[in-house]
Amino acid sequence: MLLNAFINANGKHATISPMTGRYHERMPKPGESDLTPQIMAEIIRAITRLGGDPSLLPESATPEHLARFLEKCGADRYLIGTVASWKDTIQDEEVLDDLRRLNEGKPFFDQIIASREDE
């Protein structure tokens, strides 16, 4: 698993190999947005924060695989749901914002308003 995936100053996808520590640039994979490295970095940050070992993930892990891995690490339903919805029902920008928010310990929702039909 690529522990350090990001977009470098030139706007290119880049990684640092966890095994060798070597830096290299790469082309985006089909279906990969410019935010994919940043999203993966936040997912890895969450896995690490939960005490998991991101190096156990295959490089080709799908959002569903990542969500199951997070579940095994004890992640809450909002984190699991966000990751599972990535590349499916939630835009990359929103996924990244939600992951950052959750990793910072902020609540998933700004405000929850409970109401009943009889009110």
35: phi then psi, degrees, rounded to nearest 5:
-90, -5
Q: Which of 50, 15, 38 is nearest to 95 (CA)?
A: 38
- Name the β-bridge partners of 86: 90
Give Cβ neighbours of residue 23 (< 8 Å, ≥ 6 apart): 14, 15, 16
Give the H or E element holding residue 41: helix 36-49
So where are the chain's domains?
Answer: 4-103
**Is the separation of the CB atoms in 55 and 72 below 8 Å?**
no
- CA dist 65 and 113 (Å) reads 33
The percentage of residues in the chain with a pLDDT greater than 70, rounded to a whole number, is 63
Residue with the bigger pLDDT between 24 and 47: it is: 47
Whole-prediction pTM value?
Answer: 0.68
Q: What is the average pLDDT value for the chain, to the nearest integer?
A: 79
More confident residue, 70 or 26: 70
Mean pLDDT calculated for residue range 25-49: 80
User: Which of 19, 25, 23, 32 minimizes the C-alpha distance to 7?
Assistant: 25
Least confident of 32-36, 53-57, 64-68, 87-91: 32-36
Backbone angles phi, psi at 4, to 5 degrees: -130, 90
Which residue in this structure is represented by tokens 């156990």? 56
